[in-house]
Structure formats: C-alpha cells, structure tokens
Structure 1
C-alpha cells in the first residue's frame, strides 16, 4: 500500500518543470514566428525580408528541447531550421537544398561560404552536406543559452522572456539572412537595378511589393540598389495593368512620386 502511495505521489512526466518551461518557450517562439510573417505589412516586406518564405513550426519532442520550422521554397524544394535547446550546447541549424547553393554570390564568393557567414560575419560552427541539403549549424554556449540560464528559466519568468527574445531573434535572423544571400544571387541575374542620388530608405518595401537585395554606392552621389518583385508582381506591362503587375516604368514613376528628392531611375535593361 505504501508503495502505491509513493508511486501516486511522484510527479507525472508532463509536470516536470523543465519540460513545461521548454514547451512554453517554444510556444512563444511559434507566436513570434507567426507574427514575423503575418503581422501588418510584414507579410509584404520589411527591410530586406520581403519575399523570404515563411517558416512554419512543426510538431517535435518539445519537452526535450527540440523545435523545428519548415518552409516551402522554389521548385518544390524545402528548407528547415532546427533547434536543440539543451543548455550549454544549444544548437540552431539551417538546412538549405544543395541546388540553391550552386554558383557564386554577388560578392564573388561561393554561396555556401556566403550563407555560412550571413548571420554575423562569422562562419557557422559546422557546415556539412546531409543528403540533398547543406546544414549550417551554430552552437551557443553563453547565456541565455547556457545550462545555468536554462535552469534559471524554470523558476524565473523574466529569465524565460529573455531567452525567448534571444532565441526568436536568432532563429528568424539565421533563416532570413541565409535566404537573403540566396536571393541576392538570384537577383544578380533577374533583379531590377535602381539608380539614385541617395540611398533608398527601407520603408519602400512597406509600400511597394519589393525585396531589397543589394545596395552600394558606386561613386559619391550615385547609389545602386538591386531589388526583386515579391510574389504576385510581374515585369510585364499590358495596356491596362492589373494592380498586382508592376513594370519598370510604373515602378520608376511610383518611386519618383514617393521620393521626389532622390533622383530615382530604373535601369530598363537589367542585363547591362
């Protein structure tokens, strides 16, 4: 009888404070991920994130510290972000199809190397091919990803909020920065080239269906910005263009109206 009482007194697996905390952290991460791509104008574009495919959280063994988010890319391909939040050796990995990493970036280095450094200028901790994908794996050992901080989160809501903020930023930025590099290579071949007397403010991606891919000053007072049209836009110019269609001349007119003091022109022949 005493043994039965002792068994009943033991906490159930779902009542484990650490497991509950991890599930709460990942639930908050889900919300941040959803908000990043669906809140307001973020679904159309913000800074350089306009056409980047949204991550969709998937079901994993979250109570053990594992989280995944997947995204549908072009031509039926898919990408993924995986998190192992285990404290002291926390890992966040980005998986991208090898087919999207062929060729060189607009900066003259291999796309693999460019993606590996896109987050903070430092190479990923581990870079390796896994089947048809390449894994860019980063390892975090300092607070708030340390084992000590993770233990603190189980009893301290403020510590957990700090962890969520850092984790959300890392996951989102690792994904977006990697995709920006890949898309910059695509824009090198298919992008629209804008010339202006001043650097264009990122707010243009809130008003127009654009993604900024690259910006540089070729000489004082002459800026070049490479952009691509986001989903739903086209470069064609029929006699009566639909709302979602935006040709070079129409784009130039809208940009000049928005920023009359920037001296904006669109390079009509993007192969030049």
Structure 2
C-alpha cells in the first residue's frame, strides 16, 4: 500500500475530500526511511502553514518516469494515462512533490497525453509559504551547508534559487560546490542507473560526495529522494546528508 507511511497522521485523501488547493504527490521512494521522513516533515510544515492539502493515497501509482528513462514507452504511457484518468476525478489547483523526477514527468511529459497541471517542487512551494508569512522561521545557529542540485530540478527545470533562498532564510551559510546550479554533477541516481547496475571504475555518488567534502560544509543538503539515497550511501550513513525539509523543521515555528 502506497499510503501506509501516513498511518496515524490523519492526512486527508482525495477520495474523501474530492477537492483541495494542493495535491501532495508522494513519489516512488516511499518505502525508503529517509524519503518517508521527508514526507512526514513536509506534512508538518504544510499544517503549520494551514495549507489545504490532500494525497491520493492508494490511488497514487508510479508516474512511469523510470520506465520512460529505460526506454519502456508502453509501460510509461500505461501508467501515465492511468494517473491522468484518476486526476480527472478530482479538483485541485497545484501539485506539490518532494521528488524532482516526479515533478519533471508530471509537468513536462504528461501534457502530451492530456494531463496539464501546475506542478511545483516542494522547495519552490515552501519558499512561497515563507515569503508570504504563512510559514514562520526562527533564525537559528549558523550552519555551514552545501546544497546538491538534483539534475531533474536544476538541469531540466532551471530551479536553482528556491532551495538556496530557503536555506539562507534561517541563517545557513551555503558553501557552493564547483559543479552547482545548472552545471551540477549527477548523484548517480538518474536515468535508471541505480537499477541497471552498470560497472565502472568509480561510483558517481562517490565523486559527488567528494565535491561536497571539498567545500568544508558540515551538512550536504538535498531536495530529491534519489539524491538522498545515493549520497547517504557515499557518506557511509545519513548523518551528514539532510533534505531541505529537515533543516526547515529545525527552524520552523510548528
């Protein structure tokens, strides 16, 4: 079941409310512990900002992103058309997701099949909440962080500033890697690489974590569950890697 992560949280479902302002699209890595932590933290922030939101719950299925990256167009279209048909039954203004792969797929590839939506990465939406005063942040102790730009957020969708503005809002010192912004280096988790297991002399994730180490930052901040998985593995654990949501929770009045 794709909605078990929300057990006990009282997260509203579209099948119950029928209409909402924000549809929270959870993504395809909900069985990963850190991805679930990001989702539950995001729910806490949305509630603190009094956002009207809901999830599809068990009705949310794979967007088909991975299938298309691996060349399985038939599976992609089957999954996409199924999701579009589900969404036709509900009313919402925007889709918000913590997964740039999901965002890219829904925003840029579903319109060709009849699914035209406003889709935001959680960093852009959370920044909007901060800037409008709906989400209040307390200035915290200065943290030395470096932000890893996910490929499907920065390269493919040119979203590079919202995550950095969010980090600086409570006072974080953002130390840039040599390869950042639209010139980011991949974490190794895109294009189906994690499931194709192509051997090489060095893992891409190790090279990227080396980039992060060279900044002298204490924490590597990510905005993608794939990046979280890959860079946590390269770090030998998750202590030095955090999602944007986790840092906001530390500074937020909830």
TM-score (norm 1): 0.23
> Higher relative CO (CA 8 A, sep ≥ 6), structure 1 or 2?
2
* Greater C-alpha Rg: 1
TM-score, normalization by structure 2: 0.25
More helix by share: 2
Give 1 or 2: higher strand fraction: 1
